[in-house]
Amino acid sequence: MDSTNQSLKPLTVKVNEAGNLEIGGCDMVKLVEKYGTPLYVIDETTLKTVCSDYKKAFKMYPKVNMMFASKALCTMATSKLLFDEGFGFDVVSAGEIYTVYKAGVDMAKVLFNGNNKSFDELTLAIELGVGRISVDNFFELSLLNEIAKSNNKVVDILLRITPGIECHTHEYIQTGHLDSKFGFDLTQIDEAVELILNEYTNLKLHGLHAHIGSQIFETSVYGDEIEILVKEIARLDEKFGLKLDEINIGGGLGVKYTEADCPPSVHTVARIVINRLNECIKKYDIQPPALFIEPGRSIISTAGVTLYTVGSSKQVPKGKKYVAIDGGMADNPRPSMYQAKYFAEIANKKDNLSSNIVTIAGRFCESGDILIKDIKLPELEEGDILCVYNTGAYNYSMASNYNRVQKPAMVLVNNSQSDMIVKREDLDDLISHDVIPDRLKK
């Protein structure tokens, strides 16, 4: 293992003297006794180590801006921790903007991305001093210039483009191929630039932004993306005399959800990106641009686990054995949406060597609420604690209140200390925004 994203489990995982799973020096069984389940757990050591991996891997290029993709996980505590580690933030909504703002992040280090930003969201971004807005389409160009002009501001922007690169990831998480809802097509760039230079004078263009997908294992695509971005910068300079000095290559590096996954290391990707960038700078004769990268999943996923309590079970005659837990598709929708696979262990039976093939079923009223199919685990009993690995990304951030179930709590663990960073919802939280009209109160 060369970097943390290649680890299946948090770096601090061990079995303690009680035979229980321990992460960050905290016994997972005792953690459940204190906070209940389902429970999201973030290991601070793992999170800081992967941040260090990125900083070391990209230090050979002098102009690098690390931007955490907040959609992977956005809480005030994790935002504060990542900012302290030197990261800026790629945000995609008013909620994410406000979260990092309230966490004390320097808003000049924030980039606002997204394909359908609203008037209110763009206004908030300008008011709070977001450093860059990645403009996605012609409608947004016009709207943003209007808002900037009315506020007597000049807004710093990038143009998001679709480079025409198709990664072999799930169809729903491919964003760089031509048939995509995101970004300007390459044939539309000149028209956008002409508008910025001649009409939308409250916008200042600094560079180009592309994102080619998520859970990427192919390293060559990053080099291809670099070539396209640098070539476009050189072409725009030649045609318009436009000196763009920033490129944003997005993120998307994969992680190890199961033993079968073999993601490339951060260091491997960094070498490919930096080498190709230096080659293209010479080839197309441009000044070295500032490089923005936006890792999300590969920063936070490995640091997170989710703890569940085992409940009922069902043996289908001559078929599967289903074991139900007290969570499922509402706190981790990825298996239902993407057919995502996960690995799990029992937190309180590490010394039990007997094994059975079972399917872990969620508690929600959907036949498709299956968390893990056909996994080998010790004999399970009601009350056992299931630990599902690599759930730091896109679990809490995609969680819902389906079936009117409360969202889980989240804790941060480090050096045998646990701190709640997201409170568990209670029943009053569920109805806090419900309103019964007066005419129904008769």
361, 369 Cβ separation under 8 angstroms: yes
- Local confidence band at 177 (pLDDT 50, 70, 90 cut-offs): very low
Whichever domain contains 72, its CATH number is 3.20.20.10
Q: Which residues are catalytic?
A: 365
345, 425 Cβ separation under 8 angstroms: no
The structural domain count of the chain equals 2
442 within some domain: no
Co-location of 323 and 423 in the same domain: yes
Least confident of 204-218, 296-310, 320-334, 338-352: 338-352
What pLDDT, in 10s, does the model give residues 241-266?
Answer: 999 999 999 999 999 999 999 999 99
- Local confidence band at 431 (pLDDT 50, 70, 90 cut-offs): very high
Whichever domain contains 422, its CATH number is 2.40.37.10
For the segment 157-170, the average pLDDT, to the nearest whole number, is 74
Co-location of 337 and 368 in the same domain: yes
Co-location of 227 and 189 in the same domain: yes
Contacts of 331 (CB under 8 A, 6+ apart): 38, 40, 306, 395, 396, 399, 407, 408
Task: Tell me the three state secondary structure of residue 375.
Answer: strand
Domain boundary among 245, 271, 299: 299
Domain boundary among 264, 284, 299: 299
Co-location of 270 and 251 in the same domain: yes
Co-location of 137 and 241 in the same domain: yes
Co-location of 324 and 284 in the same domain: no
Domain span at 355: 4-42+301-431
Co-location of 104 and 145 in the same domain: yes
Residue 439 phi/psi, 5° resolution? -70, -15
pLDDT at 69: 98
Partnered with residue 357 across adjacent β-strands are: 376
231, 280 Cβ separation under 8 angstroms: yes
- Does pLDDT of 175 surpass 70? no
200, 142 Cβ separation under 8 angstroms: yes
Co-location of 220 and 348 in the same domain: no
- Does pLDDT of 174 surpass 50? no
- Local confidence band at 176 (pLDDT 50, 70, 90 cut-offs): very low
360, 337 Cβ separation under 8 angstroms: no
Co-location of 359 and 384 in the same domain: yes
pTM of the shown model: 0.94
